Amino acid sequence: MKQITTIILFIALMFFSSCNKDEPKFSSSEIQRALFEMKGTYHGEMSVSYYHGETISEGNACKAVSKDSLTIDMDLSLMAQSITDETIASRLRDIGTVQVKAAYEFYQMDEQMYHFVLLPKDVICIGGYGAPETVRIVFDQIFGGSADYFHHSIMFNLSPKELWFGDKKYEPFQQLVYHFGGNYE
């Protein structure tokens, strides 16, 4: 009986340890091919909504540039519409548009589609020393999208989850989702 229990535990341990292994990563040549096929300037529309809620803005013209990472212009005036503190909202409107840079992490490559997670860097708009306060926008790292390189289109989501004004987190901030869909120029 002791031997059977040991064998069952050993088999269970092997099963669980095999489940914990990461899926095979893509080779550097596969990643380079995907980046090359996605490379270009995409023109489309950006909509903004609350993470779980109503739409703030629909269909604003926007462009995204894909090279070894993704660069997108993000309109902070749309974010300002969700801010109740007029000082912070005014600062966001004054800043206007910022560039967000996000690295790709591919998780699936099909025959004509690439599916990825975006890893955007925080956006920091320096202030202080007589200028308005520094603004920092922190992004969620679990959003992404897909690119159909056969039809030259891309769609993705970016999600600001925290807003810092000076050295204080703006607690009433509700997470937003910026959704982009566009086609290669």
In a domain, 87, yes or no: yes
Note the pLDDT tens digit of each residue in 99-144.
999 999 999 998 889 999 999 999 999 886 777 889 999 999 999 9
> 172 by DSSP, 3-state: which?
coil
In a domain, 88, yes or no: yes
Region label for 167, one of left (φ > 0), alpha (ψ between -120 and 50) or beta (otherwise): alpha
Q: Kindly indicate the confidence band of residue 24, based on its pLDDT and cuts at 50, 70 and 90.
A: low
In a domain, 102, yes or no: yes
In a domain, 13, yes or no: no
In a domain, 110, yes or no: yes
In 20-75, which ranges are continuous DSSP H helix? 28-38
- Is 3's pLDDT higher than 70? no
In a domain, 67, yes or no: yes
Domain that residue 56 falls in: 28-184
In a domain, 3, yes or no: no
Rounded CA gap, 91 and 88, in Å? Answer: 5
Note the pLDDT tens digit of each residue in 64-92.
999 999 999 999 998 998 899 999 999 99
In a domain, 12, yes or no: no
Number of independent structural domains in the chain: 1
